[in-house]
Structure 1
Amino acid sequence: MSFLLLLVVLTFSKCKKSSDEAAPFNAPSTNDTTISAVTSSGTKTLDVSKASSDGGFSYKVYNDLGAVSDNTQNPTASTVRIFENGKELGPAHSAHADIRTLGKGRFSHWSSSLYFSSSDNTDPRTNGRTYTYTTSAGTVAPVLPPAITTPAPTGIIGYAMVDGTTTGGVNGQTVVVTTLAALKTAVESSAPMVIKVSGKITGTGFLNVKSNKTIQGVKGSSLEGVGLMVYGTSNIIIQNMTIRNVVSYSNIIIKEGAHHVWVDHCDLSSDRNHGWDYYDGLLDVGKRADYVSLSWNRLHDNHIPMLIGFGDENTDDIGHLRVTVYDNYFYNVSERQPGTRFGYMHVFNNYMLNGDGYAIGASMGATVRVDNNYFENQHIGLFTQYNAKPGYISGASTNIFKNCGADMVSTPASTWVPAYEYKSALIPAANVPAVVTAGAGATLNL
């Protein structure tokens, strides 16, 4: 009898949870996740900001949840239920290997710790959602999702901070300009400068922006009929500018080897009443330009808002045109959101609404990574079958396509991803319309 009891004890001591090793309980350190009670609904809130990665899609919370946990003797003992923005996750009691490799809301309350995954395998520490739990097996009142708020503008993300930095006119003189002549003098100066554009300035043509400049629109300002050209210069920030109705030129154009340029929170537009040839694009990058980030801009009422790579013949663009396009709002346009050639472009968290042609195009060997974009009312979402040769696209499954025609992609999915960190800045694709429409454009109080 004693031998049989010993055998039973040894057998349980070697048990695994659904073929995965039972995780040992570790006493929480001062850096471990904490849990705070929510008394009004009988639920408790998980403070996931300090959860630790358990590998793959799994995240671990060290805490006693106030209920019996699953264990080797009873692998379904826990009555803990987990909710993400009020919607219940599951299945519970999942194998830890499945939580890591499959995720999609699977969780396990095991050895006084919680191992869980978000519903879409995003990082619960940064996806902006509320996670709650109850220890009751009964009915739980749903927790309403938090209101979506616009993230505060942060530092530059992406290629403008690769192989160098983009600081604009920092440490230079700050000037306020109210006339076209004053603006021209300031942007064409050889000195570092922060240029504040105030009021409505009108004219025609374009201004050449020299290196080491920050150009910022004061609230309510606009530049009418005049474009900004970044031609072979570097270290430039253009921010909070409203630029309209530039004839024959793009509103902002970055070309001829220009590098380390950031265009952020601008409102760029023309109209679609004059045909395709009257206005050019709104924000274009080409001719060996490199290390560019384009963020939080509104591009609207134009046929061809964003082009990266100007012509099939520009093979000297190979090895250049590294551009990050994120959190932009394209609407009432025809195509090019963006259209690309030759380079490496990372396009994430953009909202593309009401496009008559294609939204994102990749041609002439361009390699485009698309993450968490929201396409709505687009004739074609992703397109490679135009120009002399197709390009390559990756990340298509992370995007949402609402009321869009079929993609036209003729090449295998690329495996390329940018080397810089960006995942902490990703917005869940479903939230992109609300967040981007609230925050994009000349919305800064500068």
Structure 2
Amino acid sequence: MLRSKVKWIILLMFLLQIVSGCSSKQTTDSTNIPPIAVPTNLKAEILSEKRVLLTWQDNSNNEDGFKVERKEEEKDWIQIAVVGFNTVNYIDSNLTPGKTYSYRVRAYNSSVNSDYSNEVSITTPLIIAPELSLSIDENNHVKLYWTTKSEVTQGYVIDKKEENGDWQELLTLDVSSKSYTDPDVISGKVYWYRIKAFSSNIESDYSEAYVYVPLINPSNSPDFSLVGFATLNGGTTGGEGGTVVYVSTGVELQNEINKGGPRIIYVNGTITPQNNNNKYVIEVKNVSNISIIGVGTYGELNGVGIKINNANNIVVRNLIIHNVKDPAIATQGPDCITISGPARNIWIDHCELYNQFQGIDKDYYDGLLDINGDVSYVTVSWCYFHDSWKTSLIGSSDTDNYNRTITYHHNWFRNCNSRLPSYRFGEGHIFNNYYQDIAGSAINSRMGAKLRIEHNYFENVRNPIGSWDSSQIGYWDLAGNVFVNCSGSIPETSTCYYKPSYDYSLDSVERVKEIVTQYAGVGKITK
């Protein structure tokens, strides 16, 4: 009997040890379950009147997914979605316009939930306003474009006014409309437009924009007089009224420039390093009121460039400048023309500038016309730029921050790679130019530059207009440009409004190719 009791006691103790061990193991395992890091930085963004985009930061590496919860006004939290691991966004759909919603998110796995993220609240709009953009088409009419996020819009109302006038309703369009062209405008005036969306008895806020309708030159004959930024700040006259001299060597040209102005220097011959004391640059430095003008088609700089520095009121016209290379420099070399600040009131007109594009390293030659530093009031007109890797760089780096003001008009850019121009900072006006066979990119607006780009003709051009290669983008105001067989970046809408502070008129864009190829370059002017 005693032996039997002992056996039962031993068995009971064994069972108690097993139960105690299991309980202890369970307690230890529960204690060792790793927590899940809390998702943070929860944000909500309106996608439409009925949709909200939620985004958050995933801070964990052991979650199975995330639970998304929502709370409406005066209601309790409810779980609305479960998304997978590493997911950091969710779109909440079928919401009610005009209501406020709150959201929170937490991570989970099979064992545990994380704490909740921050809460975020957002109110869905009753109706979202469209975003309006304006441009000028090839007929000098105003084209309106708009985009919308709305899911409830039934139509649009467009109003119009002239500068300092009153708003007048222009027309009402149905929801399928995304653009409208207004032909009832007058050249030389500024017009304001605004658009609102409507649905039943609900109306959105207005979206407004304004545009300048440029003057169109009615004449068939080109006007070669000075236009653009070089007309400001007292104008650009060069050596007008001063001593007139003729030169045929680089030594003679440099000596006459060093005498200062007012002086008009006619180049009748070919300037080379050999007749320029083996120098590869003509320096226009520390002087003012100088004109350098080629005679007929005989004014040429072969292998010699011009550098304008600390000089004001300088005119360079009717010169061929090409293949500028200092052999002592392994890569690149002098530009055909450099304008380096400080410099004011410079006019480059009817010149032909070229190096070589195909069959040569991109860094062998430098630019055709580069402008850097504190330079203002420049016009580049009726020039023929061709066969170049690096054509016209404005601003030497992203830190070359000056409010440069430059006009490019009626220039012919042919068989080039890029920089037509590449424009950092400042304000520019680019009109009535012909771009032909451009391999890389044409107009590159960078570092906050504001460019008015209008009535240019682009043919066989890759990336006619865009913003590349800098830490900040630039902007453009587009009007009436034509793109033929082009590819890449071809923006249809403006990203800023900009009107130059001088009077000018435009040639019809249909005539640009004809008149620029006929009249750009040397041998087209008589003085």
Partner of residue 413 from structure 1, selected from 468, 473, 495: 495
Map 1:13-412 → 2, pairs under 5 A: 102-103=182-183, 126-128=217-219, 150-154=221-225, 156-203=226-273, 204-209=279-284, 210-221=287-298, 222-247=300-325, 248-272=333-357, 273-315=359-401, 317=402, 320-395=403-478, 397-407=479-489
Cα offsets for 1:377-414 (capped at 9, x unmatched): 1110111133111100111x410011111326699611
Q: Distance in 2 between matches of 1:267 and 1:171?
A: 26
From the superposition, tell whether residues 257 and 428 of structure 1 become closer, same or farther in structure 2 (CA, over 3 Å): same
Secondary structure of the residue aligned to 1:310 is coil
Name the stretch that deviates more: 293-302 or 282-291: 282-291
Any gaps of 5 or more consecutive residues in structure 2? 1-139, 143-169, 172-180, 187-212, 274-278, 326-332
Q: Which amino acid in 2 is paired with 1:372?
A: H
Kept in 2: contact 1:369–1:417 (CA 8 A): yes
Aligned AA (1:230): I
Aligned-residue identity in percent: 34
Per-residue CA deviations over 1:18-65 (Å, capped at 9, x if unaligned) read xxxxxxxxxxxxxxxxxxxxxxxxxxxxxxxxxxxxxx979xxxxxxx
Shift >3 Å, 4+ stretches: 121-124, 408-412
Equivalent pairs, count = 309
What is the CA distance between 1:343 and its match in structure 2?
Answer: 1.0
Q: CA deviation at 1:354?
A: 0.6
C-alpha separation between the residues in 2 aligned to 1:294 and 1:251? 14
SS at structure 2 position matched to 1:334: strand
Cα displacement string for residues 282-322 of structure 1 (whole angstroms, at most 9, x for unaligned residues):
1111111111000000000111111111111213x1xx210
Q: Is the 2:447–2:471 Cα contact (8 Å) retained in structure 1?
A: yes
Give the gaps of 5 or more residues in structure 1.
1-55, 59-96, 107-120, 129-148
Shift in Å at residue 445 of structure 1? 3.2
- 8 Å CA contact 2:260–2:290 kept in 1: the answer is no
Structure 1 residues 122, 171: closer, same or farther in 2, change over 3 A? closer
Aligned partners of 1:105 and 1:259: how far apart in 2?
Answer: 36
Between the aligned partners of 1:354 and 1:239, the Cα distance in structure 2 is 25
Q: Return the alpha-carbon distance in structure 1 between the equivalents of residues 447 and 214 of structure 2.
A: 32
Q: CA deviation at 1:374?
A: 0.5
Provide the rounded CA distance (Å) in 2 between the counterparts of 1:179 and 1:323: 31
Tell me the secondary structure at the aligned position of residue 282 of structure 2: strand
**Residues 412 and 441 (structure 1 numbering): CA distance in 2 closer, same or farther, change over 3 Å?**
closer
Give per-residue Cα distances to partners, 1:133-188, cap 9 Å, x unaligned.
xxxxxxxxxxxxxxxx551422x111111122111011211000011110110122
How far has the Cα of 1:219 moved from its partner?
Answer: 1.1
Q: Distance in 2 between matches of 1:433 and 1:410?
A: 21
Deviation at 1:122, TM superposition (A): 7.2
2:513 corresponds to: 433
TM-score, normalization by structure 2: 0.56
Q: Are the equivalent residues in 2 in contact too, given 1:150–1:439 (CA < 8 A)?
A: no
CA distance in 1, matches of 2:432, 2:445: 18
**Alpha-carbon contact 1:199-1:220 (below 8 Å) kept:** no
TM-score by length of 1: 0.65
How far is the alpha carbon of 1:359 from its aligned partner? 0.7
RMSD: 2.5
Distance 2:280 2:214 in 1: 46
CA distance in 1, matches of 2:352, 2:261: 27
